[in-house]
Structure 1
Amino acid sequence: MTYRDVLDNRSIAVSTSESPDMPALGLRDEHLRDAMTEIARHTLALGAKLVYGGDLRGDGFSRLLFELAARYRRDTKSQNMVGVTNYLAWPVHIKQELKDLDETAADLEGTAELRLLDIDGKEIGLEERHQLPKQMPTEPEWAKGLSAMRHTMLAETDARIILGGRVDKFMGDMPGIAEEALYSLQDKQPLYILGGFGGCARDVAEAIGLLESNSTREWPGREKFGPFKGKGLKNGLSMEENKVLASTPHIDQAMVLVLRGLTKSKLGAHKGTSARH
């Protein structure tokens, strides 16, 4: 069985944001963006779709993924390829200007797509969004809307890759990457932890016993990973392979392991039990 046989038409969620540990690791922000580029290049080339929950900021990872999807479509002459789906949680899009959402959706047509969700995680179209007034969400609305989006993404994706991630100045009940990783673990969705770039992904790897803790960094919800310590990740990799994946800063090595795991794991098997909102 080839990688394309496994990944064609599969949806792979990616969780990432800036890592506070890059300077201490001798890395720069460009290394994290290069890693995202390699993840996108491999998965898109093998027929998969990348799924991301972003906020459309100008220098954010959503924009990087959109550029990569457009480049892949151009380079492969694939005229019907929608390579990236960007979920917008209710608290994210409800505070944005309608014209910005309309323009972004139009610019992405044919290469990527926006999926707007209501506060309970149900999809709404742009036309329905036009009927809603712009507003500033409260903290409880942020927490509810983001968690609902992450449950929806869990139900509609086949595996998740996490790397980097900040653990402060976040919205919601816990750091976003941590919450998404926790949902994957709880639902036995294949989870690939690239901890070599530090940040929240490294913390998750430590919390479940893949790596020894150098200096435990506390953040809300970290204790929820305790029950998964020493247990398999259901991702097709051995414990030793997962330890390498959780520690290597070399994206080429990490991608070999991710693709090996995706080939061996039972993609989509968790969907029968995942919570849909």
Structure 2
Amino acid sequence: MSYREPLSQTAIAISISESDDLAVLGLAEEHLRDAMTEISRHMLAMGARLVYGGDLRDNGYTKLLFELVARHRRDADVGDVRPAIANYLPWPVHSMKSREYLSGLREDLEGIGELYCLDKEGRAIADDAKGSPSPAAFSDEDWASSLTAMRRVQTEAIHARIVLGGRVTNFKGLMPGIAEETEFALKANQPLYLLGGFGGCARDIASDMGLMPEMERSADWPGRIGFSSWRANDLSNGLEFDEIRTLARTVHVDQAVALILRGMLRLSRRAGHD
């Protein structure tokens, strides 16, 4: 029998974007990128498949993930030929790229990752972009419905979600992206690992759930009030309350990784005993 990595059948979504308040916390963008890199690297080493819904900026988190997978990929099983990363692109994002650009990206990702271009309703489309319209071609409603559809489809494809950072201003959609992805995970009762120590939307959510002290309150972004009704046990992540609270507050990446893996491995063992 071939050896299987502990998380070889687990699809884990990474929810991350820039935090508006990193400087207030004495942190910089590099801290957020380093945290994502280390967390992703350990998930890959345990055989997990990473799932991300993001943009295609040259310096964005999507590209960072792709580079990380290319460097650190380690198959969970000798017979496991699944790509190690899946990236879901909402309609306006991929529509502003040419067919040639997306085809080239797919070629670069061959054997490493999969790129899913979605239409406005979240259906995967094979023909990719049909042109390169300007951002002005998409209304606020186009962005909101497309992003919500992408996050719904992504949630259906994953087993767990890790959340850190996140803008609460100048976002597209019904609410900040981190908030909507977190809400989808909570409503689906999926294991959710919430890191508030790196500020942003994740910190607001952790504070509203009673997992860390209140800072000077940020803007009352759309949908925020709803998170005060959720509690630690709603995270369903295999961790005890003290561990959940520590994860929510820490800025030490090694500690965060250890806690995430502890929770995931506990859930894996419990599932094996069912």
Structure 2 length as normaliser, TM-score? Answer: 0.89
Q: State the partner residue of 1:249.
A: 251
Contact 1:10 1:48 in 2 (8 A): yes
Matches within 5 A, 1:108-147: 108-125=109-126, 128-129=127-128, 132-135=130-133, 136-147=137-148
* Counterpart-to-counterpart distance in 1, 2:221 and 2:268: 32
C-alpha change, 1:243 and 1:176, in structure 2 (3 Å) is: same
Q: Which moved more, 1:254-263 or 1:209-218?
A: 209-218
Q: Does residue 61 of the first structure (1) align with residue 49 of the second (2)?
A: no
- Give how far 1:212 is off: 2.4
Indicate the residue corresponding to 1:17 in structure 2. Answer: 17
Give the residue type in structure 1 aligned to 2:227: F
Would you say how many aligned residue pairs link Structure 1 and Structure 2?
A: 261
* Gapped regions of structure 1 (runs ≥ 5): 270-277
**Pair 1:228-2:230 in alignment:** yes
CA distance in structure 1 between the aligned counterparts of 2:131 and 2:226, rounded to whole angstroms? 36
- Report the identity percentage: 49
Pick closer, same or farther for the CA change 1:255–1:138 going to 2, 3 Å: same
Contact 1:6 1:262 in 2 (8 A): no
CA-atom RMSD in angstroms: 2.2
* Separation (CA, whole Å) in 2 of partners of 1:134 and 1:30: 32
Following TM superposition, the consecutive aligned residue runs of length 4 or more in structure 1 with deviations greater than 6 angstroms are none
> More deviation in 228-237 or 244-253?
228-237
Deviations 1:237-268 (A, max 9, x none): 1111111000000010001000011112369x
Question: Is 1:240 aligned with 2:242?
Answer: yes
CA–CA distance in 2 between the matches of 1:230 and 1:17?
Answer: 23
The amino acid across from 1:19 in the alignment is: S
Query: After superposition, what is the alpha-carbon deviation per residue over 1:122-143, rounded to whole angstroms, capped at 9, x for unaligned?
Result: 1112xx225x344332110110
Give the letter aligned to residue 129 of structure 1. D
Q: Distance in 1 between matches of 2:236 and 2:268?
A: 8
Q: Is the 8 A contact 1:85 1:113 kept in 2?
A: yes
Q: CA deviation at 1:41?
A: 0.9
In the superposition, relative to structure 1, how do residues 142 and 193 fare at CA in structure 2: closer, same or farther (>3 Å)? same
What is the letter of the counterpart of residue 256 of structure 2?
A: A
CA drift at 1:75 = 11
State the Cα distance separating 1:103 from its structure 2 match: 1.3
1:124-176 deviations in Å (ceiling 9; x for gaps): 12xx225x344332110110000011010111000000011111111100000
TM normalised by structure 1 equals 0.88
Q: Is the 8 A contact 1:69 1:111 kept in 2?
A: yes
Contact persistence 1:56–1:63 (CA under 8 A) = yes
**1:232 alignment partner AA:** D
Tell me the SS of whatever aligns to 2:16.
strand
Matched, 1:261 2:260: no
Q: Secondary structure of the residue that 1:86 maps to in structure 2? A: strand
**Secondary structure in 1 matching 2:41:** helix
Question: What is the CA-CA distance between 1:224 and the residue it aligns to?
Answer: 1.8
Partners in 1 of 2:205 and 2:100 — Cα distance?
Answer: 38
